[in-house]
């Protein structure tokens, strides 16, 4: 049995084992030596570069003794992966927080600590903190980082060619769309319904704030004073349905990357956008582009924008480096971080009260609307998506269906309202 071959194999296995144990010991040593290493859990794998080459080095200039490691999962897998790691006790020290219930859930399960006592939290307004605070607003568990703003990005060259001006009202918006369609060379609206969230986020939430009057409508919806079957909400669905003749061929199976490409290749004129698209377009589009705010219903109406609190950072309750983590969070709250973040990732706008100079002109335009219009967040995010059926999922579904023509605006409104009323007390009346 003990052939020369198997002897050699045994010897090799022995060597391998020895190497492995040395490596393990070295790793253990390295671990002990750098007890001050913070690991960040995030879904922003697109931003890994900016974190590694800009944000973390800037932090290390002030705090050279704390090492920071940025570890990102793809956005769609983040929640599942993070929960698994938290349950297994292997999650990083710092946890990037999704807005509202996903993070509130983590806090209630004891995975996040309160950041009320972390220096720098006073730099944020109550609205900025609302996405990461308990329902009574007393405890905040993540340090707010950035929000995203909705609007429309347009291809300036096409607009110049067809002598169009950015629309201010819905009527003007449709006039512009008609002209682009009549010209026939370009797709008027770049948007698809295959991913569903485009219809809900870039469609429904983007333009909706002007119909339900931002925070006023959002709060009324939570209190049960307004319903999705009210004219304001049905009108949003009606407006979405009216976009479909202007959308590209086969928009029903057009996905988000298709939509982005359609616009950056110069084949579409108007792109219902999230401000996070700006850095991507900056890289890919070789034409000039600009942005206009969601059109108001009537001329002279007050304008509203969806300025959605999107990303924050909290501390893993099981972290062994609590002090270092708090130091990092305080730095995140500083104007220095806000400035780096806003300019390295134009389209993510800092939430702190510090005045930040956004250098990208289109991103600056988005953030400039904060001065002229009133900010609000997406109406399905706070409290209303807690039950079954989940309101956010329902809105994705019905918005996509309205745009696919398989559901009437009134039916969509009724479905969203019925779903909500089936579990949410204030809507049961």
Partner 1 sequence: MTDLTASRIQSADAVPARSRFPIHIAVFLAPALAIYTLFSIYPLIDTIRLSLYAGDETGARSFVGLENFRTLLSDPNWSGQFWNAFRNNLIFFLIHMVVQNGIGLGLAMLLSLPRLTGGSVYRTLIFLPTMLSVVIIGFIWQLILNPLWGIAPSLLKAVGLGSFFGPWLGQESTALLTVSLISVWQFVGIPMMLIYAALLNIPDDLLDAATVDGAGPFSVFWFVRLPLILPTLGVVSILTFVANFNAFDLIYAIKGALAGPNFSTDILGTFFYRTFFGFQLQVGSPTMGAAVATAMLIIILVGVLIYLFGVQRRLQRHTF
Q: Which of 2, 3, 165, 388 binds partner 1 (CB under 8 A)?
A: 388
Q: Which of 41, 47, 93, 101 binds partner 1 (CB under 8 A)?
A: 101
Please tell me whether residue 406 binds partner 1 under the rule CB under 8 A.
Answer: yes
Among the candidate windows 112-120, 286-294, 296-304, 392-400, which touches partner 1 by CB under 8 A? 392-400
Cβ-based neighbours of 350, under 8 Å, separated by 6 or more: 145, 146, 337, 338, 339, 341, 342, 356
Beta pairing partners, 305: 375
Number of Cβ atoms within 10 Å of the Cβ of 4: 7
Torsion of CA 334, 337, 339, 340, to 10 degrees: 170
β-strand 268-274 against 143-155: which pairing, if any?
antiparallel
β-strand 37-42 against 67-72: which pairing, if any?
parallel
Size of the site for partner 1 (CB under 8 A): 48
Sign (positive or negative) of CA dihedral 148, 167, 230, 417: negative
Site string for partner 1, 183-222 (x = CB under 8 A): ---------xxxxxx-------------------------
Nearer to partner 1, 91 or 332 (CB): 91
Please tell me whether residue 250 binds partner 1 under the rule CB under 8 A.
Answer: yes
Beta strand ranges found along 360-428 (DSSP E): 374-376
Helix (H) or strand (E) holding 39: strand 37-42
Nearer to partner 1, 196 or 327 (CB): 196
Q: Which of 72, 102, 127, 220 binds partner 1 (CB under 8 A)?
A: 102
Please tell me whether residue 136 binds partner 1 under the rule CB under 8 A.
Answer: no
Number of Cβ atoms within 10 Å of the Cβ of 227: 19
Nearer to partner 1, 372 or 422 (CB): 422
Please tell me whether residue 6 binds partner 1 under the rule CB under 8 A.
Answer: no
Please tell me whether residue 393 binds partner 1 under the rule CB under 8 A.
Answer: yes
Q: Which of 126, 136, 249, 286 binds partner 1 (CB under 8 A)?
A: 249
What is the rounded distance in angstroms from the CA atom of residue 377 to the CA atom of residue 354? 20
What is the rounded distance in angstroms from the CA atom of residue 128 to the CA atom of residue 122? 11
Please tell me whether residue 258 binds partner 1 under the rule CB under 8 A.
Answer: yes
Residues making up the chain, counted from first to last: 429
Q: Which of 57, 110, 137, 231 binds partner 1 (CB under 8 A)?
A: 110
Least distance from C-beta 80 to partner 1, angstroms?
4
Q: Which of 1, 4, 65, 76 binds partner 1 (CB under 8 A)?
A: 76
Cβ-based neighbours of 88, under 8 Å, separated by 6 or more: none
Report whether 39 contacts 85 (CB < 8 A).
Answer: no
Q: 283 by DSSP, 3-state: which?
A: helix
Please tell me whether residue 411 binds partner 1 under the rule CB under 8 A.
Answer: no
Please tell me whether residue 69 binds partner 1 under the rule CB under 8 A.
Answer: no
Nearer to partner 1, 209 or 391 (CB): 391
The angle, 0 to 180 degrees and rounded to 10, between the axes of the packed helices 409-421 and 391-404 is 170
Q: Which of 225, 255, 320, 428 binds partner 1 (CB under 8 A)?
A: 255
Least distance from C-beta 400 to partner 1, angstroms?
6
* DSSP single-letter state for residue 247: B
| Residues at the site binding partner 1, with contacts judged by CB under 8 A | 76, 79-80, 83, 100-102, 105, 108-110, 192-197, 248-255, 258, 261-262, 380-381, 385-386, 388-393, 396-397, 400-401, 404, 406-407, 419, 422-423
């Amino acid at each position: 049995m003990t052939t020369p071959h198997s002897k050699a194999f045994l010897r090799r296995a022995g060597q391998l084992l020895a190497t492995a144990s040395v490596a393990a010991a070295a790793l253990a040593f390295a671990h002990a030596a750098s007890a001050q290493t913070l690991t960040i859990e995030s879904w922003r794998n697109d931003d890994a570069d900016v974190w590694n080459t800009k944000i973390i080095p800037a932090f290390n200039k002030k705090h050279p003794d704390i090492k920071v490691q940025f570890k990102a999962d793809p956005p769609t897998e983040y929640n599942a992966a993070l929960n698994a790691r938290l349950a297994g006790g292997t999650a990083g020290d710092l946890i990037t927080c999704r807005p509202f219930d996903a993070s509130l859930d983590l806090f209630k399960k004891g995975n996040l600590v309160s950041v009320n006592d972390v220096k720098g939290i006073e730099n944020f307004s109550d609205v900025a903190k609302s996405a990461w605070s308990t329902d009574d607003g007393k405890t905040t568990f993540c340090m707010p980082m950035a929000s995203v703003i909705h609007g429309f990005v347009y291809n300036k060259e096409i607009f110049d060619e067809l002598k169009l001006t950015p629309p201010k009202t819905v009527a003007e918006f449709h006039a512009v769309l008609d002209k682009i369609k009549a010209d026939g060379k370009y797709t008027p609206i770049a948007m698809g319904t295959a991913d569903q969230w485009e219809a809900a986020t870039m469609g429904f939430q983007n333009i909706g704030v002007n119909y339900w009057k931002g925070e006023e409508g959002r709060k009324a919806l939570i209190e049960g004073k307004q319903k999705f079957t009210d004219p304001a909400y049905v009108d949003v669905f009606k407006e979405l349905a009216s976009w479909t003749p202007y959308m590209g061929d086969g928009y029903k199976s057009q996905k988000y990357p298709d939509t982005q490409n359609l616009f950056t290749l110069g084949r579409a004129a108007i792109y219902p956008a999230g401000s996070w698209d700006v850095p991507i377009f900056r890289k890919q589009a070789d034409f000039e582009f600009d942005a206009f705010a969601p059109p108001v219903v009537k001329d002279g109406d007050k304008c509203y924008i969806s300025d959605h609190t999107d990303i924050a950072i909290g501390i893993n309750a099981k972290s062994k480096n609590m002090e270092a983590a708090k130091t990092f969070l305080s730095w995140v709250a500083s104007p220095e971080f806000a400035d780096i973040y806003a300019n390295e990732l134009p389209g993510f706008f800092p939430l702190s009260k510090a005045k930040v100079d956004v250098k990208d002109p289109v991103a600056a335009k988005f953030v400039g609307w904060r001065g002229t219009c009133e900010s609000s967040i997406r109406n399905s995010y706070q409290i209303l998506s807690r039950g079954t059926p989940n309101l956010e999922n329902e809105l994705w579904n019905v918005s996509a269906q309205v745009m696919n023509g398989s559901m009437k605006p009134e039916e969509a409104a009724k479905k969203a309202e019925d779903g909500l009323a089936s579990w949410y007390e204030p809507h049961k009346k």
